[in-house]
Amino acid sequence: MIAWKELARTAIVGTERQSVLPSPQPPTLGAFFQEYKTANSEEEVLLKAAVMGTWKAAALQLRETPGLEPVPDVEVESHPTTKPKLNTLLQQMSEDAPQIAAEVLEGVRRAGMILSPELLPTFFELARRDKSLREVVSAVGGKRGAALARRRSDWEFLLGNATGLQESAWEGPRQERVAYLRELRLEQKEKARQLVQECWKGEQAANRRDFLLALEVGLALEDEAFLESALDDKSKEVREAAQSLLARLPDSAFVKRMTERARGCLQVVKKSGLLSRAITALSGGTGTSFSIEAPSQLDAQAKRDGLELSAPKPTDPAGFVAEQRGEVLEKIIAGTPLNFWIQETGLTPEELISGSQKANYIGRIIRGWELAAAYQHHDDWAKALVLHRVIHGTIDHNPGGLFVALPRQEQEWVMERAAEYSSQQYASMSNLMAAPLSLEITRKLHALLNESITKPKNGYDYEGYRLIQILCLQGALEFYPQLVEYAKPYVSEPTSYTETWNKNLFIYELRHTLFQEIKS
Amino acid sequence: MAPTFTVDQVLGLAPDAASASAGKGLATTRKWVSLCKNAEALWGECQGSGSTPYQVRIDLSEPAFKCSCPSRKFPCKHGIGLLLLWSGSADAFQESAAPAWVTEWLDTRKARAEKKAEQHESGTQKQADPVAQAKRAEKRESRVEAGIEELETWLKDLVRRGFAAAKVEPASFWTRMEARMVDAQAPGLSRYVRSLFSACSSGEGWEERTLREAGRLYLLIQSWKNQSALAEDFREEVRTLVGFAPSKEVVLAGDPVQDLWYVWGQRVEELEDGLRLQRTWLQGTKTKRWAITLSYARKGMPFEFSFVPGSGYESELVFYPSSVPRRALEKKRGQMSLLSELPTVQFFDEALAEYASALAANPFVEVQPIAIRAARLVPQGNGFVVADSTNCLIPLRGDPEEYWKAYAGTGGQPVVLFGEWNESTFTLLSYNINGVHRTVKGGVA
């Protein structure tokens, strides 16, 4: 409507600068304005604004929009959707207890259900923020979920393939570029590596390091040549990243070099005499003794592999040398296949660990094995190493990853043994396990809780609060009635535990009710 | 059969987010010593921190709440918790004869409702001294007259200097005039000045929005000045807009409209000074008339009218006098029931034609409620549009995240949609899919 735009133009600059210009009007309005006289320009603008504004609002007519996307096909889901009562609980969980979402959605998946459509955006947003939920949310999203994810770029990760990748991310900040590389590695390993190689020379050291570490996804021997070349990078952090990746490739030349160095550090003595074998057998020994020593000299290639023994410091020559030798030993062990130690000595991981206790560099040896177990996903070694930490009360210093990566059955095996040791460690480890915990672990935690809160304590009882939280958020569901009964006195009479109980029992109850509803 | 409620509906009754959240925590059988029901009420005893459980009761006809807890919020968390339990676990409630603490409350409610109705019938409300009243009215009229004169001069000056100059004025330039209108006992005009301020300080397209608001205000000023020439209903409308709203007693003395009123949607706005305004859209299923009830409440206090969206009420409504009567008060409430067929239009053009007719009778109508069937949400750019069955589009205004939920719920399929049209955009307030009402939260961004 030209007249309306003209009027607005006059109103912006003001009638003291611009008078109302005559402009074409619809006939009805034109006649009205001719008849209705105003005293000045301000009145004219205001009157026309009143009449034309109303006329415009009343005269609006819509036209069919050509090319509008058709109504989407109705998705025929192959699984039943969650029912209203469960939906209510799921919605409540998303708002009040998102920390139990992984367990509950897994339950929904196991029950062969998919989420009711109106819940999808809520859980998509949860999964956008928490990557660990993506796989299960994608699974319970059904066809409606996939259709929605196709409509929104920030939900495309739920499609479970690389279609969610946006190449523009490669032009963005470092974090986005790394995320893009990691995603691309899932689908097109070669392409991802080529991208890194192409930009390699022009990138800063921090970028080169992070891009290299992104190749961890789907790492394979085809990456070796590039990683080997990165061992000559001018930046130490890049070289270290390349070393850590090559250590994960058991058939790489790097690992072979490290294995040869490890051979030089290991000394094995097998008892051969009849008498000594008999004594060893009677005493429950292995018949083999070994020692692991840090190298005092290195081969010519060692420096390239990150191993270096430099000149001692004048202030503390002995300590400095010992420290350097220990560091070298740790790196050699971390880069050596764990089976090497078993094959060379004929001993089990437990025997190797216990047999090294008196070694000069025990801390470095253990740390090297821990890194190797993480690189090589060696469950037997991981179990033995975690247990070693439990026994020595240092589980909190252990990279949690080793325990977390263990299969459930192995975790429970470790927990069974861990029960004899520190309750604090036991709680820490149970906290690392996926919910629900077994009934046995739950009972043990409950016993620890009872011990903790019935014993008079000074100050803040962190342990008691933490155990209540672990029990409620992860405890076995069948333990729920027993815990509710146990909590009653603390809930009905205000105590320092009341708030913690109420807050966490509420979540336990939600879990309990959710699973009852899922089962029904 | 006792009426049922969805969780959305129940949480919509909570006075604030904290009560809703606390209510959810109580929606568990573990917290209740007893849970009972009959055809008209629910009641239960909730174990609180004290030795005696709180007695919580709900009259299902509204629903109305009462609890023996000391909370000043209304409904309190126990009431919300009890109704949430009912919505999710109705089988946890035992059919039972109501104890005295429930029947006495229900009886008191009934007696109060009857007395109120009688008062309306017989007009026995206490009348103020008519002479003093007339004197006060005269004084107020002259104050408003003076205020309006001042406002007109200010408005013309605004146009003379230009909106561009007004846009760079400090907020006090506007708030001073708002306050002046309150002083002049014309609070309605104060609201118009605020709308003008909002338009002038808005983003892209602010010029035309400011022009529209300035035109509206000018029209109201001229209508006031020309009152004697206006038809009675329109004159009443103008006086109400300026701030001379008739008292509830006067309105309730008017002729009621009996219908089965369907509650299409509800919006709660936070006003200044901790006041909340609940706007509820209803439509008569027989008369097809639109009605909107405005209910104010202090934070934590109940709204006067409690309607549950997605439900039908056999009620008597009385409308405020207007040439397009929409604002209404509920005079008498009957049974609450669910509807199988909803009164809807098929095309946007029908609704826009209805809006045009309303504007012709009353140019101050700012919003047109639209309930349309076979309409669908279509994602477009960063937002959504709504398309009717002929692919005519209107843009949606509001929080896109909420619209994604509605889009997920409908799957982009044609369904019944309800919302408010404000001349240029549509705010979705609810949708209905396979007979299930769904509320769209946070209609306005």
Please spell the DSSP secondary structure of B114-157, one letter per residue.
HHHHHHHHHT-SPPP-HHHHHHHHHHHHHHHHHHHHHHHHHHHH
Give B334→chain A minimum CA distance, Å: 28
Cβ separation A63–B392 shorter than 8 A: yes
For A61, counting Cβ atoms within 10 Å of its Cβ (0-12 exposed, 13-18 middle, 19+ buried), the class is exposed
d(CA B276, CA B297): 5
**How many other C-beta atoms are found inside a 10 Å radius of the C-beta of residue A268?**
14
Cβ separation A15–B160 shorter than 8 A: yes
| Listed range (A136-140, A181-185, A421-425) with the worst mean pLDDT | A421-425
Of all residues in chain B, the one with the smallest CA distance to A491 is B49
For A399, counting Cβ atoms within 10 Å of its Cβ (0-12 exposed, 13-18 middle, 19+ buried), the class is middle
Q: What tokens appear for A367 in the block?
A: 């740390």
Q: What tokens appear for A427 in the block?
A: 């709680």
d(CA A337, CA A246): 12
**How many other C-beta atoms are found inside a 10 Å radius of the C-beta of residue B155?**
21
The partner residue sitting opposite B409, judged by closest CB among A65, A68, A118, is: A118
Cβ separation B379–A151 shorter than 8 A: yes
Q: How high is the pLDDT of residue A163? A: 43
> Is the Cβ–Cβ distance between A32 and A10 less than 8 Å?
no
d(CA A242, CA A391): 34
Q: Which residues contact B68 (CB under 8 A, 6 or more apart)?
A: B54, B55, B56
Cβ separation A88–B409 shorter than 8 A: no
Query: What are the chain B neighbours of A506 within 8 Å (beta carbons)?
Result: 25, 28
Cβ separation A16–B208 shorter than 8 A: no
- Segment 129-188 of chain B within 8 Å of chain A by CB: 155-157, 159-165
Query: What are the chain A neighbours of B351 within 8 Å (beta carbons)?
Result: none
Give B416→chain A minimum CA distance, Å: 15
Of all residues in chain A, the one with the smallest CA distance to B48 is A492
> Is the Cβ–Cβ distance between B374 and B427 less than 8 Å?
no
Beta partners for A223? none
- pLDDT tens for residues A201-243? 999 999 999 999 999 999 999 999 999 999 999 999 999 999 9
Query: What are the chain A neighbours of B408 within 8 Å (beta carbons)?
Result: 117-121, 144, 148
Query: What are the chain B neighbours of A484 within 8 Å (beta carbons)?
Result: 30
Beta partners for B276? B270, B297
Beta partners for B418? B371, B430
Cβ separation A65–B24 shorter than 8 A: no
Q: What tokens appear for A95 in the block?
A: 């708002």
Cβ separation A506–B392 shorter than 8 A: no
Q: Which of A52, A62, A151 to mutate to test the interface with B (most CBs of B within 10 A)?
A: A62
Query: What are the chain B neighbours of A59 within 8 Å (beta carbons)?
Result: 356
Of all residues in chain A, the one with the smallest CA distance to B421 is A57
Q: Which residues contact A502 (CB under 8 A, 6 or more apart)?
A: A491, B25
Q: How high is the pLDDT of residue A280? A: 60
Give B293→chain A minimum CA distance, Å: 24
A330, A323, A181: which is closest to A244 by C-alpha? Answer: A330
B22, B16, B113: which is closest to B74 by C-alpha? Answer: B16
Alpha-carbon distances of A312 from A241, A308, A401, B70, rounded to whole Å: 26, 12, 35, 76
> Is the Cβ–Cβ distance between B411 and B370 less than 8 Å?
no
For B443, counting Cβ atoms within 10 Å of its Cβ (0-12 exposed, 13-18 middle, 19+ buried), the class is buried
Give B269→chain A minimum CA distance, Å: 22
d(CA A263, CA A513): 58
Coil vs helix vs strand at A76: coil
CA atoms within 13 A on the CB side of A297: 3
The partner residue sitting opposite B207, judged by closest CB among A12, A61, A66, is: A12
d(CA B216, CA A36): 17
Cβ separation A125–B401 shorter than 8 A: yes
| Mean of per-residue pLDDT scores for chain A | 88
The partner residue sitting opposite B378, judged by closest CB among A11, A56, A69, is: A69
Cβ separation A89–B88 shorter than 8 A: yes
ipTM value, please give it. Answer: 0.82
Residues composing chain B: 445
Tell whether the model's pLDDT for residue A292 goes beyond 90: yes
Q: Is B29 on the interface with A (CB under 8 A)?
A: no
> Is the Cβ–Cβ distance between A158 and A138 less than 8 Å?
yes
Query: What are the chain A neighbours of B425 within 8 Å (beta carbons)?
Result: none
Q: How high is the pLDDT of residue B172? A: 95
Distance from the Cα of residue B206 to its chain's centroid? 27
Give A1→chain B minimum CA distance, Å: 12
| Higher pLDDT among residues A512 and A320, named by residue | A512
Alpha-carbon distances of B174 from A377, B153, B180, B183, B196, rounded to whole Å: 69, 14, 10, 14, 9
Q: Which of A71, A76, A125, A152 to mutate to test the interface with B (most CBs of B within 10 A)?
A: A71
> Is the Cβ–Cβ distance between A417 and A456 less than 8 Å?
no
Query: What are the chain B neighbours of A122 within 8 Å (beta carbons)?
Result: 405
Beta partners for B431? B417, B438
Of all residues in chain A, the one with the smallest CA distance to B51 is A492
Give B165→chain A minimum CA distance, Å: 8
**How many other C-beta atoms are found inside a 10 Å radius of the C-beta of residue B352?**
23
Please spell the DSSP secondary structure of B264-312, one letter per residue.
EEEEEEE-GGGEEEEEEEEEETTT--EEEEEEEEETTS--SS---TT-E
Q: Is B367 on the interface with A (CB under 8 A)?
A: no
- What whole-number percentage of chain A has pLDDT above 90? 57
Give A45→chain B minimum CA distance, Å: 8
The partner residue sitting opposite B159, judged by closest CB among A15, A52, A75, is: A15
Query: What are the chain A neighbours of B411 within 8 Å (beta carbons)?
Result: 72, 74-75, 117, 144, 147
Q: Which residues contact A265 (CB under 8 A, 6 or more apart)?
A: A292, A293, A294, A295, A329, A332
Q: What tokens appear for A141 in the block?
A: 């999203």
- pLDDT tens for residues A110-128? 999 999 999 999 999 999 9
The partner residue sitting opposite B393, judged by closest CB among A50, A65, A71, is: A65
Q: How confident is the model at residue A161 (pLDDT cuts 50, 70, 90)?
A: very low
Q: What is the amino acid identity at position B217?
A: L
Residue by residue, pLDDT tens for chain B (445 residues) are 567 777 777 887 887 777 888 888 888 887 888 999 998 899 999 987 667 889 999 998 778 899 988 887 788 899 999 998 888 888 889 999 999 999 999 999 888 888 877 776 665 555 667 888 888 889 999 999 999 999 999 999 999 999 999 999 999 999 999 999 999 999 999 999 999 999 999 999 999 999 999 999 999 999 999 999 999 999 999 999 999 989 888 999 999 999 999 999 998 888 877 788 889 999 999 999 999 999 888 776 777 767 888 999 999 999 999 999 999 999 998 888 878 788 999 999 999 999 999 999 999 999 999 999 999 999 988 889 999 999 999 999 888 889 999 999 999 999 999 999 999 999 999 999 888 899 997 543 3
Q: Phi, psi (5° rounding) for residue A45?
A: -60, -45
- pLDDT tens for residues A15-39? 999 888 777 777 888 888 888 888 8
Alpha-carbon distances of B54 from A76, A488, B47, rounded to whole Å: 48, 18, 6
The partner residue sitting opposite A58, judged by closest CB among B28, B156, B359, is: B359
Q: How confident is the model at residue A162 (pLDDT cuts 50, 70, 90)?
A: very low
> Is the Cβ–Cβ distance between A371 and A377 less than 8 Å?
no
Of all residues in chain B, the one with the smallest CA distance to A144 is B411
Q: Which residues contact A294 (CB under 8 A, 6 or more apart)?
A: A265, A325, A326, A328, A329, A360, A361, A364
| Higher pLDDT among residues A360 and A476, named by residue | A476
Of all residues in chain A, the one with the smallest CA distance to B168 is A12
Q: Is B413 on the interface with A (CB under 8 A)?
A: yes
Tell whether the model's pLDDT for residue A349 goes beyond 90: yes
**How many other C-beta atoms are found inside a 10 Å radius of the C-beta of residue A209?**
21
- Report whether the peptide linkage leading into residue B343 is cis, meaning its omega lies within 30 degrees of zero: no
Give A114→chain B minimum CA distance, Å: 14
Query: What are the chain A neighbours of B49 within 8 Å (beta carbons)?
Result: 492, 494
- Report whether the peptide linkage leading into residue A295 is cis, meaning its omega lies within 30 degrees of zero: no
Query: What are the chain B neighbours of A63 within 8 Å (beta carbons)?
Result: 392
Number of cross-chain residue pairs from A and B with Cβ atoms under 8 Å apart: 164
Q: How high is the pLDDT of residue A459? A: 56
Beta partners for B417? B372, B431
